[in-house]
Amino acid sequence: MKTKVLLITPPFTQLNTPYPATAYLKGFLNTQNIVSNQADLGIETILQLFTPQGLTTIFEIIEENFEWADLSANGQRIVHLQESYIETIAPTVAFLQHQNPTLAHHICSRTFLPEASRFQSLNDLEWAFGTMGIQDKARHFATLYLEDIGDLIKECIDPYFGFSRYAERLGRTATHFDPLHEALQEENSLISDILIQLLEHKIEDYNPSVVCLSVPFPGNLFAALKCGQYLKANHPNITVVLGGGYANTELRSLSDERLFDYLDYVSLDDGEAPLLFLLEHLDGQRPASELKRVFARVGGVVSYYNNAIEKDVAQREVGTPDYSDLLLDEYLSVIEIVNPMHRLWSDGRWNKLTLAHGCYWGKCSFCDISLDYIQRYEPVNATILCDRIETIIEQTGQNGFHFVDEAAPPALMRDLALEIIRRKLTVVWWTNIRFEKSFTYDLCQLLKASGCIAVSGGLEVASDRLLALMEKGVTVAQVARVCDAFTQAGIMVHAYLMYGFPTQTEQETIDALEMVRQLFEQGVVQSGFWHRFAMTAHSPVGLVPDKYMVTRMGPDFGGFADNDLYHEDLTGAEHELFSQGLKTALFNYMHGNAFDVDLADWFDFETPATSIVSDYIYKALDQPLKMPRSNAMIFWLGGRPIFSFFEEETEDGVEELAALHFHNKQNDWVMELSVEMAEWLSEMLVALEIDNTSTWTFKQIKENFEATGMGTMQELINSDIWEQLSLNGLLIC
């Protein structure tokens, strides 16, 4: 195939790491021997803008086009301090790229960086910095400094500017194409000029015949269409394709043909098969009628092609994500807000990988479960995943991984953890989960041993009635126990919280806040964030609103985007009233404060008293241990003991005993046993080592032990021997 493909992520997604879509597609194209390159024009635009020359240009534009009185007080301050900004921008960006860490001391002195309005919140947050080291504190200050400059850019240079949400309002709920179309006719801003210059350089460097624009979020759409607009005007021979998460959720009912003034095709859902078949079509090897999930304009009308007989590419065959061409050493590690989980999104360079396509649960009524990216569940086995992990580490030099699953399956997480440990890989990873009861204390210990540092999951409304209405498949008590298991293993837990779900009453909202208060008070959740329920067209609530006692109120579909819906909830509370109070309470709970403050004090209106007893979560956690499942696998991570004998005088004479000496990374410990028990245990622990090709089940261990005649398995489990082993590396998963 002669086609050359250029995969582009337009501004802006994240400052700290590339969005993975182009790396995924490049990895697949490698398996097909199709030449491709990729570029993250978001980070490249930022790196060109936030330089001494870039800031000089910004201040020159402001001087030429604005009277002093036209600027806000904040804008005036930044312009007045422009020399300080120009002098400090290069070392600050380098610091955020981990190039000059000693600058942290200078930044934290509060005498190096000029400060504008973003720093005004520091008085409220200063108490939170006690848990932050000097590097973290300096990165937070440097982030505020960049955001101050960003505010000036938005005020004077480009009203659409945002570090991760460029022109987001134009793409959000964009049922009609008119606002986008009109904005695209406006004169280019400095941001657009930089973007176009970078795009032209990529065209010159790579000479592609096809450019694919990945649009994961509404905040990427405008810049993507700017790229398409330029290519259509200046490189009409290049085929322009748009795909990504935004298209998958928003453009499924596309009919406005004007979009195709800026591009040639729109691809939906997984991009591997649609792109491959489209490339075959462009090469004259496949008729348009046999394309897969592709929109095009034919005779002035938007047509949808989805008659390919081939299935989507199996996850085991999509290849390993390929991060080549990307400026991996030049991303910026920022700390936007003092939230332990949110900082993982913005701090550090994370390789992205997927354990399983789709969601194995696929029932939650607020989720877009009718769409392919959730509906079609297909896991990848642990061997292939570890092969990909090793390849990516070798390519990028980074061992941090964010597994970007909708909900990582517990059994696959277990298998992956075992494979990581067997291969002796050094990996740091985090992912999203459902709070399944499968996540026992032992499984969480295994995940920690493999490098897991954090998980996020949906507690949502923290109400058993509403969780059942959501078909979430969990209860608050179950979530608490799972969170406790992760926390005891040293894995941070972030809870997604939701308010405003259909029929949620004032009482249920206050009760949910009380549940959250107790979870943080018990220390089993370390991070959280409240989201207002949003009704979408592809969720059960959006598809069958009557079932959830809400009325769909629009918006009117105008031929472009169709996802976000307006609704009326006549039986629920006035949800927006609770927004600020819930968030303020949560902010305090996350920092270990205000657990004794009355819930009513968080709101400026009258609220009911909670109906949840004050020890609900405590009692949920205080549950007796159950006998493990008979088919559960059992492993020993504690290393081989040193066996020795000694004698001890008793009333009946001298008794020969044995000692097992264990050494782990933290300490040494000794277990004194009968010789028979020591010999059985020593032999068994070797058999249970993870490196062994065969694994033992709990049933097999039980039968083996009871065959010795030393007692029953229940007696062994109740003994100090078992307790010590469980605390030091004996895991049943």
Question: How confident is the model over 539-567, as pLDDT tens digits?
Answer: 999 999 999 999 988 898 999 999 989 99
Task: Write down the pLDDT at residue 393.
Answer: 97
Whether residue 289 is found in the same domain as residue 267: yes
Per DSSP bridges, beta strands 356-357 and 378-379 are antiparallel
| CA distances (Å), origin 124, targets 119, 128, 131, 580 | 10, 9, 15, 16
- Let me know if residue 339 belongs to a domain: no
Residue 344 maps to a domain: no
Who's near 234: CB < 8 A, 6+ residues apart? Answer: 200
The strand pair at 356-357 and 294-298 is best described as unpaired
Q: Report d(CA 629, CA 698) in Å as an integer.
A: 7
Are residues 27 and 319 in contact, defined by beta-carbon separation less than 8 angstroms? yes
Q: CA-CA distance, 555 to 545, in Å (whole number)?
A: 15
- pLDDT reported for residue 132: 58
Residue of higher predicted confidence among 22 and 628: 22
Whole-angstrom distance, CA of residue 589 vs CA of residue 603:
15
Which of 621, 652, 683 marks a domain boundary? 621
In the structure, what pLDDT confidence band is assigned to residue 510 with cuts at 50, 70 and 90? very high
User: In this structure, what DSSP letter does residue 610 have?
Assistant: P
One domain, residues 616 and 648: no
Question: Of 621, 645, 660, which one is at a domain's C-terminal end?
Answer: 621
| Residue 627: inside a domain | no
pLDDT at 197: 98
Q: In angstroms, how far is the first alpha carbon of the chain from the final one?
A: 48
What are 366-385's pLDDT values in tens digits? 999 999 989 999 999 999 99
| Per-residue pLDDT tens over the stretch 665-694 | 888 999 999 999 999 999 999 999 998 888
Compute CA distances 472 → 364, 367, 447, whole Å. Answer: 5, 10, 24
Domain shared by 417 and 438, yes or no: yes
- 140 in the same domain as 103: yes
**Distance of alpha carbon 382 from alpha carbon 371, whole angstroms:** 26
Please indicate, yes or no, whether residues 616 and 638 belong to a single structural domain of this protein.
no
**646 and 509 housed in the same domain:** no
Question: Does residue 337 sit within a domain?
Answer: no
The chain-wide mean pLDDT, for the chain, equals 93
List the CATH number of the domain containing 403.
3.80.30.20
- Assess whether 606 and 645 both reside in one domain: no
315 shares its domain with 362: no
CA distances from 620 to 498, 520, 726 (A): 21, 14, 22
Number of domains in the chain: 3
Tokens representing 90 are 């290069």
Residues 611 and 644 in one domain: no
**Average pLDDT in the 269-278 region?**
96
Q: What's the Cα-to-Cα distance from 503 to each of 108, 579, 580, rounded to whole Å?
A: 48, 16, 20
Number of H helices, E strands in the chain: 29, 24
Per-residue pLDDT reduced to its tens digit, 287-337:
999 999 999 999 999 999 999 999 999 999 999 999 999 999 999 999 877
CB of 365 closer than 8 Å to CB of 470: yes
- Domain end among 591, 621, 651: 621
CB 50 within 8 A of CB 161: no
Mean predicted confidence (pLDDT) in 519-527: 96
Catalogue the long-range contacts made by 428-431 (C-beta closer than 8 Å, 24 or more residues apart). 428/399, 428/400, 428/401, 428/453, 429/400, 429/401, 429/402, 429/403, 429/453, 430/344, 430/401, 430/402, 430/403, 430/454, 430/455, 430/456, 431/355, 431/402, 431/403, 431/404, 431/405, 431/455, 431/456
- In 177-276, the DSSP E strands lie at 210-214, 239-243, 265-267
Amino acid 123: pLDDT: 57
Residue 340 has pLDDT above 80, yes or no: no
pLDDT at 608 over 60: yes
Residue 628 located in a structural domain: no
Quick check: 634 and 731 in contact, CB under 8 A?
yes
Q: Classify each residue of 641-675 as buried b or exposed e, where b means 16 or more C-beta atoms within 10 Å of its C-beta.
A: beeeeeeeeeeeeeeebbebebeeeeeeeebebee
* Residue 718 placed within a domain: yes
Which long-range contacts (C-beta less than 8 Å, at least 24 apart) are formed by 517-521? Answer: 517/585, 517/589, 517/595, 517/599, 518/612, 518/614, 518/615, 518/616, 518/617, 518/618, 519/459, 519/480, 519/483, 519/495, 519/617, 520/589, 520/590, 520/592, 520/595, 521/589, 521/595, 521/617
Residue 254 lies in a domain: yes
Beta carbons of 254 and 565 less than 8 angstroms apart: no
> Hunting for tokens 């629920």 — which residue is that?
572
Give the span between the Cα atoms of 147 and 411, in whole angstroms. 42
pLDDT of residue 649: 75
Residue 143 lies in a domain: yes
Residue 354, CA distances (Å) to 19, 34, 405 in order: 13, 23, 6
pLDDT band per the 50, 70, 90 thresholds, residue 173: confident
544 SS3 class: coil
Same domain, 207 and 307: yes
What's the length of the chain?
Answer: 733
**Whether residues 519 and 609 fall in one domain:** yes
In terms of domains, do 29 and 108 share one? yes
> 587 vs 581, 614, 712, CA distance in Å?
10, 20, 50
Using pLDDT thresholds of 50, 70 and 90, give the confidence band for residue 346. Answer: confident
| Domain of residue 656, residue span | 633-732
Highest mean pLDDT among 2-6, 90-94, 705-709: 90-94
Task: State yes or no: pLDDT of 388 exceeds 60.
Answer: yes
- pTM for this prediction: 0.93
DSSP 8-state assignment for residue 689: B
Using the structure block, give the residue that is written with the tokens 């941070």: 492
Q: Report the SS3 class of residue 622.
A: coil
11 closest CA partner among 156, 158, 165:
165
Q: By the 8 A CB rule, do 705 and 713 touch?
A: yes
The tokens for 726 are: 């469980």
Give the confidence band of 126 by pLDDT, cuts at 50, 70, 90: low
Q: How far apart are CA 684 and CA 596, in angstroms?
A: 50
